[in-house]
């Protein structure tokens, strides 16, 4: 019997789903325990035998639909979108697709789209940011990225310069399509782009495809996981970027770059109705500030919690568990995660330690919780007294021995903290 993968591509085939329903129906008729448990998750126990239509209903529910009919309607829409992308796609206007990565570039071509593609992938969710004009911002970002990801500074700077230079030629296009999902990686880049477009008006129409869930995908991580025909299905759902949305993006970017959380808290409390998922991403961003109880940002805390609960494991496995099971809004790429681990491993009093081969590829290195890490989780030590390196949460610097902002996740409130003292 086949059960849908928690991380899927969003492509559903009606014949395949009919086959799954028949398999389930047959298994239940033979009283297979796993099959019966699956049915009872969605249907109350009854005296009458299970019907094939009941099995179909269960399959639809497992795929995230309210009924078999609704699932079939969605599959029909996918098929129609796939067959007509070349007719109803981007051929009617000179189009530039902008995405915070290259993950859908090929899939767009496969789906029948012909427009140009621009990757804008500076991860503003980590490292320092600023409202300075991009010629002044680029050296700051280039130095951070070169250090974080162990690349030559010249290469880092050249990559950013190429991306930003492309923004100077947007007037060559009649239409811009922004492809972004809901997490803080995407939304913070989107805020930067919207701010840029607010301050540099274009003749071109600007449209947004913003995605936080896809029918049939239990664990939606990002647009890049979707099949080409699902991208074609998303195309008619794009919406115009209004002046209100441009203003919201500009306000969000200014708040992200501030050296205090006041503007962010105001945006979160007021809501972001022009783009609700932005407010959620901003809140997740604030959770990277140290918690008053232990000095850990949320990504750090969840990693230590995984190792406490499950014991030592390869770093790649810890990353997978974090993204798939613990993280409320997954946003860290694999190399970003390894960067995040470095202070936990190399501080004066490290919260983590490497077991076994320290020269293995990082996903295979076994990481374990140290005694200090356990004490931090138990609230007996504050991480910022253990000698981690300075880090940035947007425009806010978090440095051991210096005053900084903290975010109390349980109460959703901020605190300005005096410099912690070593215990």
Nearest to 130 by CA among 264, 254, 281: 254
pLDDT band at residue 422 under the 50/70/90 scheme: low
Kindly tell me the sign of the dihedral angle through the C-alpha atoms of 398, 400, 405, 406.
positive
CA separation for the pair 416, 90 (Å, rounded): 49
Mean pLDDT over residues 381-388, rounded? 96
What is residue 352's three-state secondary structure? strand
* pLDDT score, position 71: 78
* pLDDT score, position 96: 97
Q: Are 52 and 68 in contact (CB under 8 A)?
A: no
Q: Give the residues across from 209 on adjacent strands.
A: 179
Average pLDDT, the chain: 91
- pLDDT, tens digit, for every residue of 221-265? 889 999 898 999 999 999 999 999 999 999 999 999 999 999 999
Residue 361 has pLDDT above 80, yes or no: yes
Residue 7 has pLDDT above 70, yes or no: no
Which of the residue ranges 25-29, 364-368, 372-376 would you say has the lowest mean pLDDT?
Answer: 25-29
Mean pLDDT over residues 402-412, rounded? 95
- Where exactly does CATH 3.40.1360.10 map onto the chain? 90-253
CATH 1.10.10 is right for the domain spanning 298-417: yes
CA separation for the pair 195, 204 (Å, rounded): 16
> What six digits make up the tokens of 135?
């010629």
Q: Are 256 and 264 in contact (CB under 8 A)?
A: yes
* pLDDT score, position 49: 84
What b-and-e string marks burial along 114-146, b requiring 16 or more CB atoms within 10 Å of the CB?
A: ebebbbbbbbbbbbbbebeebeebbeebbebbb
- pLDDT, tens digit, for every residue of 102-142? 999 999 999 999 999 999 999 999 999 999 988 899 999 99
Residue 335 has pLDDT above 70, yes or no: yes
pLDDT band at residue 84 under the 50/70/90 scheme: low
CA separation for the pair 187, 167 (Å, rounded): 18
User: Cα angle at 8 between 7 and 10, to 5 degrees?
Assistant: 145
What's 90-253's CATH class?
A: alpha beta
Mean pLDDT over residues 43-65, rounded? 83
Mean pLDDT over residues 150-166, rounded? 95
Name the more confident of 41 and 212. 212
- Where exactly does CATH 1.10.10 map onto the chain? 298-417
Residue 173 has pLDDT above 70, yes or no: yes
Mean pLDDT over residues 176-198, rounded? 97
Q: Quick one: what percent of the chain has pLDDT higher than 70?
A: 95
């Amino acid at each position: 019997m086949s059960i849908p993968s928690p991380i899927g591509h969003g492509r559903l085939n009606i014949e395949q789903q009919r086959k799954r329903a028949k398999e389930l129906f047959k298994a239940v008729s033979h009283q297979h325990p796993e099959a019966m448990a699956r049915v009872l998750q969605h249907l109350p126990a009854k005296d009458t035998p299970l019907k094939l239509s009941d099995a179909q209903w269960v399959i639809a529910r497992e795929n995230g639909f309210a009924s078999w009919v609704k699932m079939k309607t969605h599959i029909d829409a996918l098929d129609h979108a796939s067959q007509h992308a070349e007719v109803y796609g981007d051929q009617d206007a000179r189009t530039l697709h902008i995405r915070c990565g290259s993950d859908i570039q090929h899939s767009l071509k496969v789906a029948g789209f012909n427009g140009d593609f621009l990757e804008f992938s500076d991860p503003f969710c980590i490292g320092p940011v600023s409202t300075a004009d991009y010629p002044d911002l680029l050296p700051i970002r280039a130095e951070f990225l070169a250090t974080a990801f162990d690349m030559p500074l010249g290469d880092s700077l050249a990559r950013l310069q190429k991306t930003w230079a492309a923004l100077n030629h947007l007037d060559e296009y009649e239409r811009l399509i922004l492809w972004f999902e809901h997490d803080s990686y995407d939304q913070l880049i989107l805020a930067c782009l919207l701010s840029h477009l607010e301050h540099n008006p274009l003749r071109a129409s600007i449209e947004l495809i913003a995605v936080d869930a896809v029918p049939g995908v239990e664990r939606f991580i990002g647009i890049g996981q979707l099949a080409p025909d699902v991208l074609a299905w998303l195309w008619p759902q794009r919406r115009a970027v209004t002046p209100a949305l441009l203003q919201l993006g500009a306000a969000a970017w200014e708040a992200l770059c501030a050296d205090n959380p006041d503007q962010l808290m105001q945006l979160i409390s007021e809501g972001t109705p022009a783009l609700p998922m932005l407010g959620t991403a901003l809140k997740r961003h604030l959770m990277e500030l140290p918690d008053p109880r232990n000095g850990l940002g949320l990504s750090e805390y969840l990693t230590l919690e995984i190792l406490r609960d499950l014991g030592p494991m390869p770093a790649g496995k810890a990353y997978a568990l974090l993204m798939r099971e613990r993280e409320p809004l997954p946003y860290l790429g694999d190399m970003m995660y390894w960067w995040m681990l470095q202070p936990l491993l190399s501080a004066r009093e490290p919260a983590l330690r490497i077991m076994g081969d320290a020269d293995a590829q990082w996903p295979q290195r076994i990481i374990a919780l140290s005694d200090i890490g356990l004490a931090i989780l138990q609230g007996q030590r504050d991480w910022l007294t253990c000698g981690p390196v300075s880090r940035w949460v947007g425009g806010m610097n978090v440095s051991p021995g210096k005053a900084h902002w903290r975010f109390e996740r349980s109460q959703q409130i901020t605190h300005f903290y005096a410099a912690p003292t070593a215990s």
